[in-house]
C-alpha cells in the first residue's frame, strides 16, 4: 500500500450544534440504508468506512459525511496500518474489519459520491461554498456570487436566459470560471443569509424558486419556466421558475436552513418557504381556510404538491421577516 492512499475514518463524534437523530437520519438518507444500520456502525466507531483511496476520493467521502453532521478524518494508509500494530499505548484508530465491511456497503452507493469536490462552511446561517474545478473545466456561477478564487481562473460573463431570466429576479448574466491548464479553487457566497445545498443531477430535473441558483457545471442546462399567470400571481412569488436539467453538479441556496422532504402522495408548503422541487410533482396554489383566514391569519396562499418526489424548503420567509421588521423602521 502506498503513502499517497488514504483511509476515511468515521470518529462517531458530532459536529457542533448537530442533533444526533437528525445526523443519523441524514446519513441514512444519503447512503440509502436504514437508520438502524447507521446506528450500529456509529456504535462501533471509530471505524474506517473507506480504505486505500486517493486523496480526492477520500475528500469527497469526508465532505459528504460531514455534511450530515458527523466528524470524519482522513488518515494515510501507512498511519492506519501502524495504528493497528501491537503497541503498548491505546490504538488511536482501531480498524474493525467486520465494521469496515458493513460500512463499505453503505458508502459504495453509486449515487452518493459523484461530481466535483466541494466544501460548504458556515451553514446553515451564512453558508460559504468552495469548489475544486478540475483543469480545463468550467463552472457557471450566479453573477456577484464569487468571493474568492485562484489567480489562474479565467472568468467570462455571458448573457443567459433572456428576458424570462430577468423576470425571475436574477441577473441576466452568468459568470463562467475556467481552470486553465491546472485545477483551481473558487469560493462562492450567495447574497442571502442562509443555507446551501448540493444535488448531483443524473438526468433528473429540478425546479428552483426565484433566485435560488448559485452554481452548476456546464452540462447542467438552466432554463426559465413560465408558471402561468394564475399560479404566479396568487403564489406571491415570481411568474417564472428556473428549470435545471442534464448531468452534473448543481448548488442552490435559501433564506434560512434547507430541509429536504420526501413527498409520497401530497404535501402542503407555504409558497414563501419553497426553495426547489423535483420534476414529476404536480402543484397547485390554494388558500388556507376561508377569506377571513386569507386576510387576517398571516398565512395566505399555500402550494399543494401531489405525486412522488422531493421538495426542499427554507426555514425562514423573507416576506415574514420584512413584515416583522417593518414595525421597527424609523418613522
Report d(CA 141, CA 275) in Å as an integer.
Answer: 18
> In the predicted model, is pLDDT for residue 116 greater than 80?
yes
Report d(CA 243, CA 213) in Å as an integer.
Answer: 10
Summarize the confidence of residues 228-249 as an average pLDDT.
65
Among 93-102, 236-245, 285-294, 318-327, where is mean pLDDT lowest?
A: 93-102
| C-alpha cell recorded at residue 139 | 463552472
Q: Which residue has the higher pLDDT, 127 or 229?
A: 127
Ordered structural domains, the chain, with CATH: 6-107 (3.30.1390.10), 118-326 (3.60.160.10)
Summarize the confidence of residues 57-86 as an average pLDDT.
74
- Pair 75, 81: CB distance under 8 Å: no
> CA separation (Å) from 89 to 86, 92, 131, 242?
9, 9, 39, 57
Convert the pLDDT of each residue in 5-22 to its tens digit.
Answer: 888 888 888 888 788 888
Convert the pLDDT of each residue in 270-302 to its tens digit.
Answer: 888 999 999 989 988 887 654 444 444 445 678
Q: What is the pLDDT of residue 115?
A: 84
- Pair 222, 213: CB distance under 8 Å: yes
pTM over 0.85? The answer is no
Summarize the confidence of residues 174-192 as an average pLDDT.
93
Summarize the confidence of residues 221-231 as an average pLDDT.
65
> In the predicted model, is pLDDT for residue 207 greater than 60?
yes
Report d(CA 33, CA 15) in Å as an integer.
Answer: 22
Q: Which residue has the higher pLDDT, 67 or 216?
A: 216
Report d(CA 81, CA 104) in Å as an integer.
Answer: 18
Report d(CA 252, CA 83) in Å as an integer.
Answer: 41
Q: What is the pLDDT of residue 186?
A: 97
| C-alpha cell recorded at residue 112 | 452518493
Summarize the confidence of residues 77-93 as an average pLDDT.
43
Give 286's strand partners: 302
- Pair 75, 9: CB distance under 8 Å: yes
> CA separation (Å) from 205 to 21, 201, 277, 289?
30, 7, 9, 32
Amino acid at each position: 500500500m502506498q503513502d499517497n492512499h488514504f483511509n476515511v475514518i468515521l470518529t462517531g463524534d458530532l459536529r457542533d450544534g448537530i442533533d444526533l437523530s437528525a445526523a443519523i437520519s441524514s446519513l441514512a438518507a444519503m447512503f440509502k440504508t436504514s437508520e438502524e444500520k447507521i446506528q450500529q456502525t456509529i456504535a462501533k466507531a471509530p471505524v474506517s468506512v473507506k480504505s486505500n483511496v486517493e486523496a480526492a476520493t477520500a475528500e469527497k467521502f469526508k465532505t459528504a459525511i460531514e455534511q450530515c453532521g458527523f466528524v470524519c478524518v482522513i488518515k494515510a494508509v501507512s498511519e492506519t496500518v501502524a495504528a493497528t500494530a501491537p503497541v503498548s499505548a491505546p490504538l488511536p484508530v482501531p480498524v474493525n474489519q467486520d465494521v469496515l465491511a458493513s460500512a463499505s456497503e453503505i458508502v459504495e452507493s453509486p449515487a452518493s459520491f459523484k461530481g466535483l469536490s466541494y466544501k460548504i462552511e458556515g451553514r446553515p446561517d451564512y453558508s460559504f461554498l468552495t469548489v475544486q474545478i478540475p483543469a480545463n473545466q468550467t463552472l457557471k456561477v450566479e453573477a456577484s456570487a464569487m468571493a474568492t478564487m485562484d489567480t489562474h481562473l479565467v472568468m467570462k460573463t455571458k448573457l443567459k436566459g433572456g428576458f424570462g431570466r430577468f423576470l425571475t429576479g436574477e441577473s441576466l448574466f452568468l459568470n463562467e470560471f475556467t481552470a486553465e491548464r491546472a485545477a483551481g479553487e473558487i469560493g462562492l457566497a450567495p447574497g442571502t443569509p442562509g443555507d446551501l445545498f448540493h444535488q448531483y443531477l443524473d438526468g433528473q430535473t429540478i425546479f428552483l424558486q426565484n433566485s435560488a441558483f448559485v452554481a452548476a457545471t456546464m452540462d447542467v442546462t438552466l432554463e426559465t419556466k413560465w408558471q402561468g399567470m394564475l399560479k404566479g400571481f396568487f403564489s406571491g412569488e415570481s411568474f417564472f421558475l428556473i428549470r435545471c436539467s442534464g448531468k452534473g453538479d448543481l448548488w442552490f441556496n435559501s433564506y434560512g436552513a434547507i430541509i429536504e422532504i420526501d413527498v409520497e402522495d401530497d404535501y402542503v408548503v407555504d409558497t414563501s418557504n419553497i426553495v426547489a422541487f423535483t420534476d414529476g410533482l404536480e402543484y397547485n396554489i390554494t388558500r388556507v381556510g376561508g377569506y377571513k383566514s386569507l386576510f387576517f391569519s398571516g398565512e395566505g396562499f399555500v402550494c399543494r404538491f401531489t405525486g412522488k418526489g422531493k421538495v426542499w424548503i427554507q426555514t425562514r420567509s423573507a416576506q415574514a421577516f420584512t413584515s416583522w421588521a417593518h414595525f421597527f423602521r424609523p418613522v
